[in-house]
Amino acid sequence: MRDLTYPPIIVAAKAGFRLLGQRFQLTGTKHVPESGGVLLAYNHISYVDFVYGGLAANPSGRLVRFMAKREIFDHPLAGPLMRSLHHIEVDRASGEQSLATALHHLESGEAVGIFPEATISRSMELKDFKTGTVRIAAAAGVPLVPVIMWGTQRMMTKDHDRDFSRGKTISITVGEPLHPTGDNAVAETAELHARMSQMLDETIAAYPAEEQPPGSWWVPARLGGTAPTPAEAAALDMAEKRARAQRRAAKRS
């Protein structure tokens, strides 16, 4: 796959990281194979997860093609950029084409990134996973590599102001690959969720304590933070969904 845009974008992004004085804790990147199809499954806590998620595969020399919602591709500026990077458009109303494109990328030896939660987690915990992640990996016959990101939510996430002040730490933890068969997608999805939940706790525990004082809004409530509980976050998600539906109905009328 020809990449004219991706390499200079990476150079520019790394320059931006340096300007922001960001520090990186990268763990387990050796688990991303240097060649062949691989599906990377990420937690989703920030609007900038796409920007930082590729760093999980960067030491292996891989470019990650992220699966992203159609609305991003519809944007007049972001859309052309996403296409030039060969990211994969996901239409939730009709996912067959998205699935076929992801399988084609994987079978062609590409690294594909997916967010099993589908949407950003307000609780900073893992939401329920869709079974599509393990089904895609099984259908393509590729390893499924779990990835946890932490710290990206401090810059840009739901219900909070943007904060691109200097000196933040970004943690990225890559786990050992799973090899789903698709025989029991529900059980294999539960295994992936459990593995990533453990990785999330370990990543939070290893994060610099001076950047994560008790009561931090970006830390799960069960770990002493003030993020919404999963139940509270689910209620906020439902309210957001209703408001979006009302806006669409008003626009149609």
Please write the tens of the pLDDT for every residue from 100-156.
999 999 999 999 999 999 999 999 999 999 899 999 999 999 999 999 999 999 999
- Report whether pLDDT(93) > 70: no
Q: What is the pLDDT of residue 70?
A: 85
Cβ atoms within 10 Å, residue 107: 13
pLDDT at 177 over 90: yes
User: In this predicted structure, what is the pLDDT of residue 19?
Assistant: 97
pLDDT tens digits, one per residue of 12-22: 999 999 999 99
User: Could you write out the three-class secondary structure of the chain?
Assistant: CCCCCHHHHHHHHHHHHHHCCCEEEEECHHHCCCCCCEEEEECCCCCCHHHHHHHHCHHHCCCEEEEEEHHHHHCCCHHHHHHHCCCEEECCCCCHHHHHHHHHHHHCCCEEEECCCCCCCCCCCCCCCCCHHHHHHHHHCCCEEEEEEECHHHCCCCCCCCCCCCCCEEEEEECCCECCCCCCHHHHHHHHHHHHHHHHHHHHHHCCHHHCCCCCCCCCHHHCCCCCCHHHHHHHHHHHHHHHHHHHHHHHC
Residue 8's pLDDT is 95
Q: Note the pLDDT of residue 65.
A: 97
Environment class of residue 144 by beta-carbon count within 10 Å: exposed (0-12), middle (13-18) or buried (19+)? buried
Q: Does 185 or 73 have the greater pLDDT score? A: 185
β pairing state of 111-114 and 64-69 = parallel
d(CA 138, CA 182): 5
Residue with tokens 């519809």: 74
Rounded Cα distance, 123 and 220, in Å: 6
Rounded distance, CA 188 to CA 106, Å? 19
pLDDT digits (tens, 9 = 90+) for 182-222: 999 999 999 999 999 999 999 999 999 999 999 999 999 99
Sheet holding 23-27, edge to edge: 23-27, 169-174, 144-150, 38-42, 111-114, 64-69, 88-90
In whole numbers, what is the pLDDT of the chain averaged over residues?
A: 95
Average pLDDT over residues 70-97: 85
What is the reported pLDDT for 99? 87
Structure tokens belonging to residue 56: 């999980």
Which pTM value belongs to this model?
A: 0.94
Task: Give the pLDDT of residue 94.
Answer: 64
Distances (CA, A) of 78 to 13, 83, 89: 15, 9, 12
Q: Which residues pair with 88 in a beta bridge?
A: 67
Residue 95 has pLDDT above 70, yes or no: no
